[in-house]
């Protein structure tokens, strides 16, 4: 009961400004709005995209107003939760922007071939087709959103003084990746291999598809044990919101790398070690289910590390507890 009362206890000095994580959202909104306006004739349905941003502004203003009327921990959590929920809208929005630019998968597939001598995303699942291994890979991939929720809620309930910083770092990481996705149009093996044909890919043939994905969004079914529970979760998630976008670097790996740093920083080793096997599975799963090239996963690991330290440094200057 005391904890519930504490959630709604009125803050003596509520913030009168947007929180740092909301300024991140506003910055991304402004940047992409400029891209839409400058490329108005190239973007499909630009009016709908602009109105979508107006709705984001309205929702942000509404949660700000609710917090100002009832400034407490719960309404702070609502402000964070709304912006995290909107990530499911911002993600497919990157596809609407990056398909204005020529597709780059032929370059990434060739670099992958030059580095490894083969396509890991093509051969990994063929080498390890068993039901148990397949389900472990799908478990790792499906743990993405639960890991985000776990770290966010842990900071809220157990490290409240650092909750705003954690929210800033997590949302900041997402939007940095989204900026890259807009200007580096790579769709990943599941789309590119489907478009070219697995047989041609196996022969080392990587044609330039130019603007093919402007009008084609078909992808390969995930490899592995098709009757598995976690396999179905991954397939359902793909059917619900997957687009030919956001392959390089892997934001699944990048964001979970950020989450692992936050879990370590929390000084709760139990949280860190519970998440660690899921993080390892996540890294390999992105390639196993053909969502990413191996270089995407490696780039996600490196970029996630750099982004964490950059945002952690910025949070010391920008984030008020």
pLDDT band at 215 (very low <50, low <70, confident <90, very high): confident
DSSP 83-119: HHHTHHHHHHHHHHHHTTS---HHHHHHHHHHHHSS-
Helix (H) / strand (E) element for 46: namely helix 46-69
Please state, in angstroms and rounded to a whole number, the distance separating the CA atoms of residues 266 and 152: 11
Chain-centre distance for alpha carbon 161: 25
For residues 95-116, average pLDDT: 95
Cβ atoms of 250 and 188 closer than 8 Å: no
pLDDT digits (tens, 9 = 90+) for 106-165: 999 999 999 999 999 999 999 999 999 999 999 999 999 999 999 999 999 999 999 999
The yes-or-no verdict on residue 78 having pLDDT over 70 is: yes
| CB < 8 Å & 24+ apart, contacts of 303-309 | 303/177, 303/249, 303/254, 304/173, 304/253, 304/254, 304/255, 304/256, 304/257, 304/258, 305/257, 305/261, 307/172, 307/173, 307/176, 307/177, 307/254, 307/258, 308/169, 308/173, 308/257, 308/258, 308/261, 308/262
pLDDT score for 320 = 73
Neighbours of 16 (CB within 10 A): 8
Q: What angle do CA 215, 300, 306 make, to 5 degrees?
A: 130
């Amino acid at each position: 009961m005391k904890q519930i009362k504490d959630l709604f206890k009125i803050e003596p000095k509520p913030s009168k400004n947007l929180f740092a994580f909301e300024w991140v959202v506003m910055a991304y909104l402004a940047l992409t709005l400029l891209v839409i306006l400058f490329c108005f004739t190239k973007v499909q349905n630009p009016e709908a995209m602009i109105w979508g941003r107006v709705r984001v502004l309205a929702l942000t203003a509404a949660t700000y107003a609710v917090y100002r009327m009832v400034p407490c921990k719960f309404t702070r959590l609502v402000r964070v939760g709304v912006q995290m929920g909107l990530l499911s809208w911002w993600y497919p929005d990157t596809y609407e922007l990056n398909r204005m630019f020529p597709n780059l998968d032929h370059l990434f597939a060739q670099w992958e071939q030059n580095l490894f001598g083969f396509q890991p995303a093509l051969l990994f699942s063929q080498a390890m087709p068993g039901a148990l291994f397949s389900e472990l890979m799908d478990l790792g991939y499906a743990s993405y959103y639960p890991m985000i929720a776990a770290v966010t809620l842990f900071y809220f309930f157990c490290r409240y003084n650092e909750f705003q910083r954690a929210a800033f770092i997590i949302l900041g990481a997402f939007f940095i990746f989204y900026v890259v996705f807009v200007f580096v149009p790579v769709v990943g093996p599941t789309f590119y291999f489907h478009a070219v044909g697995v047989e041609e890919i196996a022969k080392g043939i990587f044609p330039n598809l130019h603007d093919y994905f402007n009008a084609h969004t078909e992808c390969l079914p995930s490899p592995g044990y098709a009757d598995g529970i976690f396999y179905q979760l991954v397939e359902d998630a793909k059917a619900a919101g997957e687009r030919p976008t956001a392959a390089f670097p892997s934001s699944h790996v990048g964001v979970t790398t950020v989450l692992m740093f936050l879990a370590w920083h929390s000084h709760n080793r139990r949280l860190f070690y519970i998440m660690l096997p899921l993080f390892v599975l996540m890294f390999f799963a992105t390639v196993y289910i053909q969502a990413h090239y191996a270089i995407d996963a490696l780039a996600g690991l490196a970029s996630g590390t750099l982004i964490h330290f950059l945002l952690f440094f910025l949070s010391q200057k920008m984030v008020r507890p």
